[in-house]
Structure 1
Amino acid sequence: MQPSTEELRFLLKWAFGDVEASRSRVAAFGLLKAAIARRLVVPEVYDLMERVQELMIKSHEPSVRQQCSGILLQYILDYPLGAKRLQHHLQFLITNLSFEHESGRQASVDTMKALILRFPEPLVEEWAPVFFMALVARLVNDPSVACRVMHEQALKTLLQRAGAALADRLAAFCMQWLSGEDARMARAAAQVTGVFAEVEGARFGRRVPGLLQILVPALERAAQEEDAGVETSDELSTFSSWQVPYFCLTLLEKAAHLAPKQVSFSAAQSLWLVLPALLSHAHLWVRKAALRLLCLGMSSPALGGSLLQHPKASPGRLALLSYQQMEVSSADEALLELAARSAALLAPLLYDTDLAAGRVPAAQGNGNLGLATSDSNMEAAEHATAAAEEAEDRDAAEDQAAAASQDAALTLHGMVRRVARTAGETSWVRQGARLAALRLLAALALRLKQERGAPALLPYLPAMMLPLVRQDERSHNRPNLDAALPAHLAEADALGREIMAQLKAAAGDEAYLQALVQAKQHATAMRRLRRKQQASEKLADPELASQRRARKLQRRGEGQKKKREELKRQRSTGLAVKNRRDKRVKS
């Protein structure tokens, strides 16, 4: 015998009398589901759904939020509702996308996504613009990363359900925001258009020409503001200074993957030529996005040749900009990896340019490092080493002045010398750049051999070997320790040995040994020359020598301070970092 309608109404009131604290909550929710499935049209069901949706947002228990979400979804999809009541419940979900607690916002967007997925097409067409605006607003304003990911997934679901005409309407909103003067709206439009690209795939190519007409001028303005040194003091300026160009670049990166013909050099020349200027941007995210796009262009056979033939994007200019990324004190691992990849891609082209201009050093000779081939002629080695040291000083001065010059460029030999200098860094705070430079040396050698053959590698091999030789000597001179080496020293030593083995395999045993001898001679001559210079300075100008030593001690103290701060930061993040002096083993 089935209960009557009046009995069911009484049961619903009684079961939900104190549902937050009720031990029979499962039974109460089950009863409500049965009433909805039976389509029991009574006022109590409508009243209880108000409590259910409130519980879905405000409850502290995940199981309660999940059950309430399922009931609300079943109610909206299957229960007889008028247009106003449906609007009331959907507006409730939209309003609570900005609920103060993250769990409530997640419950709201998750339910909205499920509704979008299961709504009939007429309702999708009717509510898509409203859902779209609400999700876009929360996508760029929600402080929670998890919520922003859920909003993006809901947007993808909405665009997948939308037909071609509806998608064009929504995309037109983004185009209008992009071309407007509001930086916040432009940033949101660029990010949401990236979602369009992910959903539409190759079909997104039809939107690319119109986007280029808007995005490229925005990137050019960002590059000009950076060159002019425009300061960003307020939040709106911050959006304009880095967020707009960053999201424009990520959107163009997606477009380049999905529709390479629409972003070819002939179709989008101004885009590719503005990227080198953005490699000097103050914000690292903009640099990384521009460098990713440049690496994509350089690695493309159809695009790379045309791009690198233009004076503004010549291989020498891009090589200098790539190396400068490794010199940024705040560079992270991703930027260092991108800089190394870019420089490795440019190595064969730099070699061709130097070969045509007659700038390739003599293979295994004394011209590339200034090395003597005889141990007895140490004086000649010291003179040649002094010349090499002066060349390094000139390199450093050129690096400082290169940022302001649009015509500055690197030869392959100049890049190898600079990368070797960075690979020889011993400062603890520069270990990231040092490891990236070591990996780049191996990549340069491998790339040159693969693209131009082993003879192209030999002229640069002694310069590549120099930091590895110095590192190997330091590791052998390091006293035995009863504890393990610090992580950064152990990693550098292991990487150095691995790279030396790779260089030996690439160059051959005979060429490798000859380069190894030359590098060791150069290192020895450099030490002797510096000792002589220091002794001469002490005699000629004791005060200047004292000032230099004081500066050296100051730099050492600053480095130790930065090391302590970094160790403290790592401990605060939960990393197991030791900060003990290694005890030396007495022989």
Structure 2
Amino acid sequence: MSSEDATPPSTSLRRPHEPVPQPRLLEEKSDVYLVPQEPARSGLPVRTSKAANGHVMVEFGLKLLHAILKKEQAGTIDQKELEMLDPYVSILASLLDSNYVKVVTTSLRCFGLLLRMSLPSLRKHMRHLSQSLFVLLHKYAGAGMKQGQNFELLVLAFKVMTTLVRDTSLCRLSKQQLHVLLTYVERDVYDHSRQSVAFALLKAILHRKVDAEELHGLMDKVATMSIEHEQAHIRSQCRESYLQYVLDYPMKRRMKKAVGFFAAQLEYSTEAGRLSALEMLDAYSNKFPQQTLSHYAPSLFVPMAARLVNDQSPNVQRVAAAGIRSLLSKLDEPSRDTLLSVALAWCKEQMFATRRLGAQTLGLFAEVEKERFERHLADVMPVLVEEMHPDKFQELTMQDIERAKDHIAFMYLVSLTKIVDACNVARAPATQESFGALCGYADTYLLYAHDWVRLAACQFYGRVFAAYTPDEVAAACKPASKVPRSSDYLLVDTPSKVRGLTEKFCSQLQPENVLEKIAEQVIRNLVFLTRVSVRAARLGIDTLHPVDWILKKVSQQAHSEVVSNPRSTLKRSHVFKFLAAVSLDLTRPELHSHLQLILTPICRELEDQSPSQSDEMKQMANEATAVIKKAAGVEAFGAALVALQGKLAGKKLKRKRDKALEVVRNPEVGARKKVKQQLRKKEALKRKKAVQFGKVKRRKAS
């Protein structure tokens, strides 16, 4: 069966009309050794025409154009270059309708630079540009556009639109279009990713002075954001926008609301909000026209002044004081006089906080008006004499009231010091009676319990001393028959006043934890009083404390610091400055007579070899030594220093000998001292190990 199936069919079975196949001799035979053809890609064929990739070349060309424009912006563009750039306006305008985001984005970048140039074609294509921008904003300004290429396009579209809105000569937008932009702004000011462009567009709309109800409602929200927003730069943008709104728009009845809103926000819960409100009120003070500022001055002054006493934040108090100074400096004299009468009324109130407020604001008036404040002295000085009387601060002893009294006394002294700086109160004949009473009060406050009050009293006397010369005061110490009569405070009963002030200023250095500012001011005052004593001694006047007495009193403070608190250097550093200043004022013979007394604390510091010795103190002692050496001369200084070193070495040897004899005379006392010394060494070693290796907790035995 298989063989039969394999035989070819017989010719008798072929159809009669079927042609017989002929062999194809010309057909090319396939070569089995050739590499087979690459398989074809399945699916749709790939587009390789210029329509598919043309936008890449367009984008590349736009980037080159943008780079050239950006480079040209840094320099100057001449007329020929402007003519070459003009044809690109139509090309860029047509590219805004492209379907490729990158092409549109780069075109907008180029437009942002071209709009700054005066090109003739801009006006021709401005309508098409504005319409294209609105189409882009409508298409891409939706939710979720916060990153990627679409977001970049949207930001650039807003920037170009901001330029068009700001420059009215380029394009005139209809009211409907401006209202559409307001809706975009109202939505974007709350979006942190688009806030910067939203505020820029808002300022451009405000520049166009668009009057719409939507705008007024939006600005109310912006005012609220300026207080409540967490980020400082957003609060600043809100304040700038709202200030532009207040200044450029006819506010009429809205002005009272604009001022009252920020005045009320001074009670806001967070410090940042209160500071923002103060900065806005300060901006009002700087930008309001004179007539408007005079009308609203009380509405600005009273809330800001209240922050000086009602706010616990030092930053808020400082900004409030700066705002009051700015307000007073911008007001005319009649308006300032009205506010000063308010401050004087506060000084006479019963509440401590109100009196403190009045005291502090008086100083601000003196700072601003300077010598012009002299016209108010007839009204101010009697109030100060009445309110600064020490009896007013010794009535009640409750802790809160005591603190309030301290603040009032401090503020009155500070304000009085500012008044002395601004006007020549210390030497003005018309105010000598009142000024003398105030100086007597300040003398009492030199021994006040609160550090700040003592500091303010010392600073006040520093200003008083600056109005006199040491020679003038020393001459006033002569007997009354030999001195022409004067009503000036420091020239009446001068010896007793100088002696009393010298003693009190020396006592200011006695507290162990004296403030650095107090020590600095006390040393300045003592230098002046010592110069008075030096000149009085030259005139043969013996009614003042001699120079030796002052030098000993001041040097004792350096010794007490070494004994009680050797790690502190505050007193010694100021004592060295005092000794150097006094040595410069003495003549060489006078300095030789006081040289050992001056060098005693300095030499002790130079000879000190204890572990607590400070390199800074040693350097300061060397500097003071150099000043004294130059003033006294090398030979006299060397002799005094050698004698003093020998004296100190003898005292040290005597103490060592007495200590050894004490052990022999009283063995029990010596043994107790030795045990105490060993315990101190043991405790010191423990502390050293704890610092070096850390404290080891030992487990209790069970």
Fold shared per TM-score above 0.5: yes
User: What secondary structure sits across from 1:115 in the alignment?
Assistant: helix
2:594 aligned partner, one-letter code = Y
TM-score, length of structure 1 as denominator length:
0.76
Distance of 2:192 and 2:534 partners within structure 1:
78
Q: 1:397-450, CA deviations, whole angstroms, 9 ceiling, x for partnerless residues?
A: xxxxxxxxxxxx854222222333333443334421122112222122122x2x
Distance of 2:256 and 2:349 partners within structure 1:
31
Distance of 1:322 and 1:441 partners within structure 2:
15
Say whether the 8 Å CA contact 2:189–2:199 is kept in structure 1. Answer: no
Change beyond 3 A, Cα 1:324–1:542: farther
Pair 1:233-2:399 in alignment: yes
2:588 aligned partner, one-letter code = A
Map 1:493-508 → 2, pairs under 5 A: 493-508=618-633
Equivalent residue, structure 2, for 1:444: 582
Q: 1:527-578, CA deviations, whole angstroms, 9 ceiling, x for partnerless residues?
A: 24434544555566666778889999999999x9xxx9xxxxxxxxxxxxxx
Q: 1:172 Cα shift?
A: 0.5
1:474 to 608, 622, 625: 608
Name the larger-Rg structure. Answer: 2
Q: 1:163-199, CA deviations, whole angstroms, 9 ceiling, x for partnerless residues?
A: 2221111100111111222221121112111111121
Equivalent residue, structure 2, for 1:5: 175
Map 1:122-133 → 2, pairs under 5 A: 122-133=291-302
Q: 1:250-304, CA deviations, whole angstroms, 9 ceiling, x for partnerless residues?
A: 1111111221146658342122223232111112211111112212222322785
Equivalent residue, structure 2, for 1:389: none
Pair 1:341-2:524 in alignment: yes
Distance of 1:33 and 1:472 partners within structure 2:
68
Q: 1:94 Cα shift?
A: 0.8
Change beyond 3 A, Cα 1:22–1:212: closer
User: What secondary structure sits across from 1:326 in the alignment?
Assistant: coil
Distance of 1:441 and 1:549 partners within structure 2:
39
Q: 1:320-370, CA deviations, whole angstroms, 9 ceiling, x for partnerless residues?
A: 22222222122122111112112211113334556778989xxxxxxxxxx
Say whether the 8 Å CA contact 1:249–1:290 is kept in structure 2. Answer: yes
Pair 1:350-2:533 in alignment: yes
Equivalent residue, structure 2, for 1:48: 218
Say whether the 8 Å CA contact 1:350–1:411 is kept in structure 2. Answer: yes
User: What secondary structure sits across from 2:250 in the alignment?
Assistant: coil
1:438 aligned partner, one-letter code = F
Equivalent residue, structure 2, for 1:246: 410
Distance of 1:470 and 1:81 partners within structure 2:
74
Say whether the 8 Å CA contact 1:347–1:444 is kept in structure 2. Answer: yes
Distance of 1:157 and 1:195 partners within structure 2:
10
1:64 to 221, 234, 239: 234
Map 1:456-471 → 2, pairs under 5 A: 456-471=590-605
Greater helix content:
1
Say whether the 8 Å CA contact 2:188–2:198 is kept in structure 1. Answer: no
Distance of 1:200 and 1:146 partners within structure 2:
24
Equivalent residue, structure 2, for 1:454: 588
Change beyond 3 A, Cα 1:157–1:224: closer
Q: 1:56 Cα shift?
A: 1.4
User: What secondary structure sits across from 1:420 in the alignment?
Assistant: helix
Equivalent residue, structure 1, for 2:436: 269
Distance of 1:433 and 1:413 partners within structure 2:
19
Q: Which runs of 5+ in 2 are unaligned?
A: 1-126, 128-171, 477-488, 694-702
Equivalent residue, structure 1, for 2:700: none
1:299 aligned partner, one-letter code = A
Q: Which runs of 5+ in 1 are unaligned?
A: 361-408, 479-484, 565-578, 582-587
Change beyond 3 A, Cα 1:554–1:326: farther
Change beyond 3 A, Cα 1:557–1:273: farther
Change beyond 3 A, Cα 1:44–1:437: same
Pair 1:260-2:424 in alignment: yes
Map 1:77-116 → 2, pairs under 5 A: 77-83=247-253, 85-116=254-285
Q: 1:79 Cα shift?
A: 1.6
Distance of 1:549 and 1:414 partners within structure 2:
39
Change beyond 3 A, Cα 1:261–1:18: closer
Q: 1:19-38, CA deviations, whole angstroms, 9 ceiling, x for partnerless residues?
A: 31264334433443343333
Pair 1:28-2:198 in alignment: yes
1:444 aligned partner, one-letter code = V
Q: 1:2-48, CA deviations, whole angstroms, 9 ceiling, x for partnerless residues?
A: 44323432332244235312643344334433433333322211111
- RMSD over aligned CA atoms reads 3.4
Equivalent residue, structure 2, for 1:172: 341
1:204 aligned partner, one-letter code = F
Say whether the 8 Å CA contact 1:223–1:277 is kept in structure 2. Answer: no
User: What secondary structure sits across from 1:41 in the alignment?
Assistant: coil
Equivalent residue, structure 2, for 1:419: 554
1:492 to 617, 636, 640: 617
Distance of 1:538 and 1:438 partners within structure 2:
38
Say whether the 8 Å CA contact 2:188–2:194 is kept in structure 1. Answer: no
2:571 to 415, 433, 440: 433
Change beyond 3 A, Cα 1:492–1:556: farther
TM-score, length of structure 2 as denominator length:
0.64
Q: 1:471-525, CA deviations, whole angstroms, 9 ceiling, x for partnerless residues?
A: 22224xx6xxxxxx87x61011111122222222111223222322331232133
Equivalent residues, number: 496
- Which structure's relative contact order is higher, taking Cα pairs within 8 Å and 6+ residues apart? 1
Q: 1:27-82, CA deviations, whole angstroms, 9 ceiling, x for partnerless residues?
A: 43344334333333222111111211111111223332222212211211222333
Equivalent residue, structure 1, for 2:508: 325
Change beyond 3 A, Cα 1:549–1:71: same
Say whether the 8 Å CA contact 1:327–1:433 is kept in structure 2. Answer: no
Q: 1:128 Cα shift?
A: 0.8
Say whether the 8 Å CA contact 1:295–1:342 is kept in structure 2. Answer: yes
User: What secondary structure sits across from 2:285 in the alignment?
Assistant: helix
Distance of 1:549 and 1:194 partners within structure 2:
61
Change beyond 3 A, Cα 1:16–1:147: same
Distance of 1:181 and 1:114 partners within structure 2:
33
2:440 aligned partner, one-letter code = L
Change beyond 3 A, Cα 1:536–1:351: farther
Say whether the 8 Å CA contact 1:256–1:263 is kept in structure 2. Answer: no
Q: 1:140 Cα shift?
A: 2.7
Q: 1:105 Cα shift?
A: 2.0
Say whether the 8 Å CA contact 1:156–1:195 is kept in structure 2. Answer: yes
Equivalent residue, structure 1, for 2:140: none
Say whether the 8 Å CA contact 1:187–1:243 is kept in structure 2. Answer: yes
Map 1:555-566 → 2, pairs under 5 A: none
Say whether the 8 Å CA contact 2:226–2:236 is kept in structure 1. Answer: yes
Equivalent residue, structure 2, for 1:516: 641
1:274 aligned partner, one-letter code = Y
Equivalent residue, structure 1, for 2:445: 278
Map 1:292-311 → 2, pairs under 5 A: 292-301=459-468, 304=473, 307=490, 310=493
Equivalent residue, structure 2, for 1:363: none
Distance of 1:525 and 1:413 partners within structure 2:
23
Equivalent residue, structure 1, for 2:307: 138
Say whether the 8 Å CA contact 2:458–2:521 is kept in structure 1. Answer: yes
Change beyond 3 A, Cα 1:530–1:217: farther
Distance of 2:581 and 2:269 partners within structure 1:
50
Q: 1:147 Cα shift?
A: 2.6
